A and B are shown apart, each in its own frame.
Chain A
Amino acid sequence: MTHLDDSSTTAAATSAHDVTSTTFASTGTRATRLIGIATLVAMGWLVLFGLVFSPADVNQGESVRFFYIHAPTIWVAYNSFIVTAFASGAYLFTKKHSLGWDRLAGASAEIGVVFVALTLLTGALWGRLTWGVFWRWDARLTTTALLFTAYIGYLAIRRLGGTHHQRARRSAVIGLLSVLLIPLVHWSVVIWRGLHQEATVLGTDADADIDGIMLFSILVGVVAFSLFYVWFVLHRTRVLAMEDLVEERGLDAALDARRAEAAATDGGGS
């Protein structure tokens, strides 16, 4: 597989298609612009509610403000990986084997990995304030790190060589297996009681024991990061589609050049 930054591929791709227009439609559309604006508004609300409007917690004090970014990022990461698994299954088990599913799986995993990293980072800072340490080999922390590592592996496998369908097949298998870690991460606080608290909003109790404005603040966080997720995946799947096209064009151009070279050699030899 040729990397995008490979200048020969890019040059070949450009020469294969005679570009005459000076304006190009990028990955943005009216829908993505609207989602982008909504994301910015929601992020602004998140800062206001997370840092200004919500009160300090009785037990945790001001450090509870981490809650409004820490929990939404892992929530979006879980959903990203579930979408990756669904799209992987759709690629593998539908007759068409559409690469669109594979690109959706890849884009979703990319943002999921970033959000798990943010969960680990904000969790470390929060842990320093509440537990006195950045990291403990607690069950929740360890399984979350394992989840992060698994999806780093998934993204690495996507970059291995081969055709687009070979990439799609092997990454789909990993995408379906890796998602099995999510229940382990989520229930780790119940299975192995450690430092990390049990789920506050999505716990087993029907009633969330949380102040109204705090609950609203966390919902603002979930909405903000979910909107960003949708915005990012729309753009990223389009970028991945263009990357595949550029790569195909580069390969076609290289094959044409090789055939022309072979024909010239045969002609000269006869």
Chain B
Amino acid sequence: MTVAFIDDAGFIFSGYAITFLAVGVLAWRVVRSGRSLAKQIPDDEKHWT
């Protein structure tokens, strides 16, 4: 497998990095807020459990 040579690699890698970073932050925030709130609600009131 050979990694393709990429012109203007900085722009392209930045684009991918920003995208995956945003997705990661979004995922982390929703999981964190879910864990925090879950402590205040009894399990029988969580319709997904």
Contacts and interface: CB of A to CB of B under 8 A. Distances in A.
Nearest to B34: A27
Nearest to A100: B47
A122 B19 contact: yes
The dominant DSSP class at the B interface is: helix
B22 A118 contact: yes
Given A52-B4, A228-B23, A246-B37, A241 B47 contact: yes
Q: How large is the interface on A (under 10, 10 to 19, 20 to 34, 35 or more residues)?
A: 35 or more
State which size class the interface on B falls in: 35 or more
B15 A122 contact: yes
Contacts of B39: 19, 24
Nearest to A110: B26
Contacts of B42: 17, 19, 21
Interface string A113-134: 0100110011001101100000
A70 B19 CA distance: 9
Given A10-B40, A238-B46, A28 B34 contact: yes
B40 A246 contact: yes
Interface in B1-33: 1, 3-9, 11-16, 18-20, 22-23, 26-27, 30-31, 33
Interface string B35-48: 10111111101111
A29 interface: yes
A129 B48 contact: no
Contact of B46 (A13, A62, A65, A242): A242
A17 B46 CA distance: 14
Contacts of B30: 27, 232, 235-236, 239
Given A19-B40, A27-B34, A27-B48, 14 more contacts: A4-B37, A10-B40, A21-B43, A24-B39, A62-B8, A65-B6, A65-B12, A114-B26, A118-B19, A128-B11, A231-B27, A232-B30, A242-B37, A242-B40
Among all A-B residue pairs, the 4 with the closest Cβ atoms: A27-B34, A242-B37, A24-B38, A25-B49
Interface of A: 4, 10, 13-14, 17, 19, 21, 24-29, 43, 47, 50-52, 55-56, 61-63, 65-66, 69-70, 73, 111, 114, 117-118, 121-122, 125-126, 128-129, 228, 231-232, 235-236, 238-239, 241-243, 245-246, 249
17 contacts: A13-B40, A24-B43, A26-B34, A27-B30, A51-B13, A51-B16, A62-B8, A111-B26, A114-B22, A121-B18, A122-B15, A129-B8, A129-B11, A239-B30, A239-B37, A241-B46, A246-B40
